[in-house]
Amino acid sequence: MTDKPLESNAASLPLRVFLDVLVSAAHTWRAGNRERPSCSRCLEFGETCRYSSARRKPGPPLGSHHAPSPLRKSRRSNAASAAAPAAPAAPAAPLRPSAPTPPGTIETATATTTEPSTRDTAARLSASTPTATPTGQREERPTPTTQPLVVPLTLPQLTPAGRGDVRKRPCTLNLAPHQVECLLLRYFDILKDVSPIYSRDLFLQRYKDGRCSESLISTIVVIAAKVTGYAADQDGPEGDGLPNWDACLDLLLSSSLLDEDLMGDALSLDDFRRAFILAVYEYHQFPGHQSWMRVGRVTRMAYRVGLDRLDHIRTVYADWRAVDPEDIQEWRALWWCIYRLDTYSNMACGTPYVIDDTAMGTSLLQSPATGAASASPDADGAGAGAGAVGTLPVLYLPSDLDDVPGVVRAVVQAPATFMANIHNVTLSALRQAGLVLRLPLLHSLGDRAALVTRAERRLATTRLALPTGWLNPRRNALSNESRAVHHARLATVLHLQMAQLLLAMADPGLRQEGADNNNNDNDDNDDRAVAGWQRVLEACQDIAAVAHQWDSSFCLAVDPALSFVVFTALVFLDLYRKTALADPRLRRDLDHQTTVLHLQMSHFATTWTVPRLLLLSYESFHQSVSAPLYGRHIALILSRFEAPFHPRWLQFLSSAGTVLANSVRPVVT
């Protein structure tokens, strides 16, 4: 008797008949199935049951895995109550910021009863240290380049009645070694702005040596295959077709084992990488409360480990000082990727940032010529490492306006990390503008103007400190700028232009336009409103100029969070062309710019869900709002704007026509 009929009919059989079926199945197994039995733990994780050389008990070593927990609410199974009780796990030691466990040890970590020494802790912090069994011998584990990958999670099977079955089916990636390597290489061509792997060559070498976590490799392979549309032109080993990528992704995102890993003491570099990659993918492909909370958990766990003060803890804890500089650079790159994700996710939703820019002790990315990473910062925010002659200073994100030019000039001197660090500097200016847009709701009119002025000065200083021609939307062919570098530079330009647009919308004079017009005040108020609208139009046209030079083949290479910038410019260009201020000759240019931005959004929408939702919101707004619009309409629209992806703003866009038609008096913020 096969398993499938037993699973599908078990819920409808009487108890006596059901027990008879179980007994018959057991006799059948005893008569014909002489294979080695598998323990429940191995079945749950889809692993082959193996014997420990120390205990002679089936299953992986004690403590290798956390006990599985139910899936998240939206996919919770009703069969969890019928599952057999799992063996109680040993209590995990509290996580210490100075001692995260080693990368690549999800599959082979073993429980110990003694406190680890400084040497052991330092080894766990290094991504290149192989794990060992309790007997002191190196543990044999399958090398990803020679055996098929198995995702260490399970996918629930549903019965015809819709109930989740107690047993789980492992999702297996039967991929040939060359297919895995191909997908790993493809991953490094997508989402370059938020890739938590700094050195591709180092990562690939460690993968070939079998020193990377299989969970991380499986996650990268599945996401790269799904995003790039890996075709089934090649079959896997033994004639099997390619895996069901959607099922594997559903498994990866639904499992709560990831949350348990983050809350335990088994926090390795590969654990964090895997958590971050899944957070980025879910945020852009399945936006909502669940994905937003996942981003917050990853960010807070980075704080718990101490990635926000990486340079400081290296001066205090010996185990961190013993970590290889290459691994420290990987941890540092991961922190700045989390910084970017925190910026995009919270600014787009109109929520406060989790990361505090004024309280960071982690320097910017360092080139190979940079001195010791543990060097203390100087009074001006940059410390010089005690390395070889000619080493570059250790640079920190400038928190003071006067430090911006010096940091930018120093960043230019390190070509290896130049683009990534400039990306962080321009993103910092965008964060400040987004913060100013939120704060006016809590300040008086005079304080609003002061906040806007301060942010504008920082933005102007950042723009002028950049190299000559940096803001040019066209590719600098005379400087031999490649297309990839060109689009990476355009991403930083969009940061600055979006910051300018947010500051223009935060102008108190522009938001008071409706009140001034209704009260028939003097023409000074009208002039101020016109000047404010001109700044909004200028920023939107600058964003459209970048979209005009965009190559759609690079939509996968950059973070799709840039679609928030395009969406905001698209909405306000459409709004401006419907106002009474728009000149008929200007409307033709606005129509072209709107078309270009719409096409750029469409290219992002071919892969990602968030741009598709934003396009639907824009279409609803475009069709529901008709010209002409006047001052009271503008003030009302600006008063409702909180963030590009804020639920109240999206809801307003869907019903803007009705709201504007019923508006009698303006809404003053």
φ/ψ of 607, rounded to 5, equals -115, -40
Residue 664 confidence (pLDDT): 56
What angle is formed at CA 399 by the lines to CA 395 and CA 403, rounded to 5 degrees? 65
- Do both 492 and 514 map to the same domain? no
Q: Return d(Cα 65, Cα 89) in angstroms, integer.
A: 9
DSSP code of residue 162: S
Q: Return d(Cα 123, Cα 101) in angstroms, integer.
A: 8
Residue 351 pLDDT > 60, yes or no?
yes
Q: Is 579 helix (H, G, I), strand (E, B) or coil?
A: strand
User: How buried is residue 529: exposed, middle or buried, by Cβ count under 10 Å (0-12/13-18/19+)?
Assistant: buried
Domain encompassing residue 611? 510-669
Specify the residue for token string 């989790």.
354
590: CB partners within 8 A, 6+ apart: 573, 576, 577, 582
**Which amino acid is it at 401?**
L
Residue 36 pLDDT > 60, yes or no?
no
Q: Is residue 17 part of a domain?
A: no
- Do both 574 and 586 map to the same domain? yes
**Band of residue 328 on the pLDDT scale cut at 50, 70, 90:** very high
How many helical (H) and strand (E) elements, i.e. helices and strands, does the chain have?
A: 27, 4
The residue among 168 and 42 whose pLDDT is bigger is 42
Q: Name the nearest CA neighbour of 491 among 559, 410, 417, 428.
A: 559
- Do both 452 and 536 map to the same domain? no
- Do both 380 and 495 map to the same domain? yes
DSSP for 387-433, written as a single string: -STTPPEEE----SGGGHHHHHHHHHT-TTTHHHHHHHHHHHHHHHH
Q: Return d(Cα 104, Cα 218) in angstroms, integer.
A: 12
The average pLDDT across 357-382 equals 61
The average pLDDT across 270-299 equals 92
Q: Return d(Cα 384, Cα 279) in angstroms, integer.
A: 35
Structural domains counted in the chain: 2
The distance of Cα 64 from the centroid of its chain, to the nearest Å, equals: 27
Pair of tokens at residue 28? 């059948």
Residue 189 pLDDT > 60, yes or no?
yes
Q: Which of 471, 506, 541 is the last residue of a domain?
A: 506
Q: Is residue 113 part of a domain?
A: no
Interior/surface letters 462-484, b for 16+ CB within 10 angstroms, e for the rest:
bbebbeeebbebebbeeeebeee
Are residues 217 and 184 in contact, defined by beta-carbon separation less than 8 angstroms? yes
Residue 406 pLDDT > 60, yes or no?
yes
Element (H, E) at 171: strand 164-173
- Do both 425 and 459 map to the same domain? yes
Residue 106 confidence (pLDDT): 28
Helix axes 631-640, 647-654, angle to 10 degrees: 140
Q: Return d(Cα 316, Cα 293) in angstroms, integer.
A: 32
DSSP for 378-389, written as a single string: -TTSEEE-S-ST
**Band of residue 392 on the pLDDT scale cut at 50, 70, 90:** low
**Omega within 30 of 0 (cis) for the link into 144:** no
Strand partners, 382: 395
**Which amino acid is it at 374?**
S
Residue 3 pLDDT > 60, yes or no?
no
Q: Which of 480, 506, 532 is the last residue of a domain?
A: 506
Strand partners, 629: 579
Q: Return d(Cα 4, Cα 99) in angstroms, integer.
A: 46
Residue 126 confidence (pLDDT): 56
- Do both 380 and 524 map to the same domain? no
Residue 660 confidence (pLDDT): 82
Interior/surface letters 173-192, b for 16+ CB within 10 angstroms, e for the rest:
bbbebebbbbbbebbbebbb
**Band of residue 630 on the pLDDT scale cut at 50, 70, 90:** confident
646 C-beta neighbours (distance < 10 Å), count: 16
Are residues 278 and 72 in contact, defined by beta-carbon separation less than 8 angstroms? no
**Which amino acid is it at 505?**
M
Residue 481 pLDDT > 90, yes or no?
yes
The residue among 140 and 557 whose pLDDT is bigger is 557
- Do both 495 and 442 map to the same domain? yes
The average pLDDT across 160-185 equals 65
Residue 44 confidence (pLDDT): 53
Pair of tokens at residue 384? 């010089």
529-544 confidence digits (pLDDT tens)? 777 788 999 999 999 9
**Band of residue 605 on the pLDDT scale cut at 50, 70, 90:** very high
The residue among 168 and 296 whose pLDDT is bigger is 296
Q: Name the nearest CA neighbour of 202 among 367, 364, 329, 334.
A: 329
Are residues 186 and 267 in contact, defined by beta-carbon separation less than 8 angstroms? no
Q: Is residue 384 part of a domain?
A: yes
- Do both 415 and 515 map to the same domain? no
The residue among 187 and 520 whose pLDDT is bigger is 187
The average pLDDT across 363-375 equals 62
Q: Name the nearest CA neighbour of 283 among 221, 340, 205.
A: 340
Residue 188 pLDDT > 80, yes or no?
yes
Pair of tokens at residue 460? 């102007």
Q: Return d(Cα 533, Cα 407) in angstroms, integer.
A: 33
Q: Is 132 helix (H, G, I), strand (E, B) or coil?
A: strand
30-39, 194-203, 457-466, 475-484: range with lowest mean pLDDT: 30-39
The residue among 274 and 512 whose pLDDT is bigger is 274
- Do both 568 and 640 map to the same domain? yes
87-96, 118-127, 440-449: range with lowest mean pLDDT: 87-96
DSSP code of residue 51: B
Residue 641 pLDDT > 50, yes or no?
yes
Specify the residue for token string 């008063």.
639
Q: Is residue 434 part of a domain?
A: yes
The average pLDDT across 232-244 equals 56
Q: Is residue 514 part of a domain?
A: yes
Residue 72 confidence (pLDDT): 41
- Do both 563 and 651 map to the same domain? yes
Residue 414 confidence (pLDDT): 87
Q: Is residue 481 part of a domain?
A: yes
- Do both 520 and 501 map to the same domain? no
Element (H, E) at 150: strand 149-158
Residue 55 pLDDT > 50, yes or no?
no
For residues 287, 288, 291, 295, the Cα torsion angle rounded to the nearest 10 degrees is 100
Are residues 564 and 612 in contact, defined by beta-carbon separation less than 8 angstroms? no
657: CB partners within 8 A, 6+ apart: 623, 624, 625, 626
User: Which stretch, 132-136, 190-194, 366-370, has highest mean pLDDT?
Assistant: 190-194
For residues 600, 602, 608, 609, the Cα torsion angle rounded to the nearest 10 degrees is 130
Q: Is residue 256 part of a domain?
A: no
Residue 172 pLDDT > 50, yes or no?
yes
Residue 2 confidence (pLDDT): 43
473-482, 487-496, 525-534: range with lowest mean pLDDT: 525-534
The average pLDDT across 426-442 equals 84
The distance of Cα 314 from the centroid of its chain, to the nearest Å, equals: 26
Residue 147 confidence (pLDDT): 54
Q: Name the nearest CA neighbour of 434 among 412, 455, 417.
A: 455
4-13, 182-191, 320-329, 335-344: range with lowest mean pLDDT: 4-13
The residue among 583 and 269 whose pLDDT is bigger is 269
Q: Name the nearest CA neighbour of 535 among 494, 576, 594, 570.
A: 576
Report the half-sphere exposure of 567 (CA within 13 A, side-chain side): 30
365: CB partners within 8 A, 6+ apart: 198, 329, 332, 333, 336, 417, 420, 421
pTM of the model: 0.74
φ/ψ of 66, rounded to 5, equals -80, 155
- Do both 480 and 517 map to the same domain? no
Q: Return d(Cα 467, Cα 27) in angstroms, integer.
A: 78
Are residues 526 and 517 in contact, defined by beta-carbon separation less than 8 angstroms? yes
94: CB partners within 8 A, 6+ apart: 265
**Band of residue 127 on the pLDDT scale cut at 50, 70, 90:** low
The average pLDDT across 112-117 equals 39
Q: Return d(Cα 124, Cα 305) in angstroms, integer.
A: 14
Report the half-sphere exposure of 418 (CA within 13 A, side-chain side): 13
**Which amino acid is it at 222?**
V
Q: Is residue 411 part of a domain?
A: yes
Residue 144 pLDDT > 60, yes or no?
no
202-229 confidence digits (pLDDT tens)? 999 999 999 998 889 999 999 999 999 8
**Band of residue 254 on the pLDDT scale cut at 50, 70, 90:** confident
Q: Return d(Cα 207, Cα 217) in angstroms, integer.
A: 8
**Band of residue 563 on the pLDDT scale cut at 50, 70, 90:** very high
Strand partners, 168: 156
Residue 372 pLDDT > 70, yes or no?
no
Q: Return d(Cα 599, Cα 593) in angstroms, integer.
A: 10
Q: Which of 456, 487, 506 is the last residue of a domain?
A: 506
Q: Return d(Cα 306, Cα 204) in angstroms, integer.
A: 27
Specify the residue for token string 């028939």.
520
The average pLDDT across 243-259 equals 77
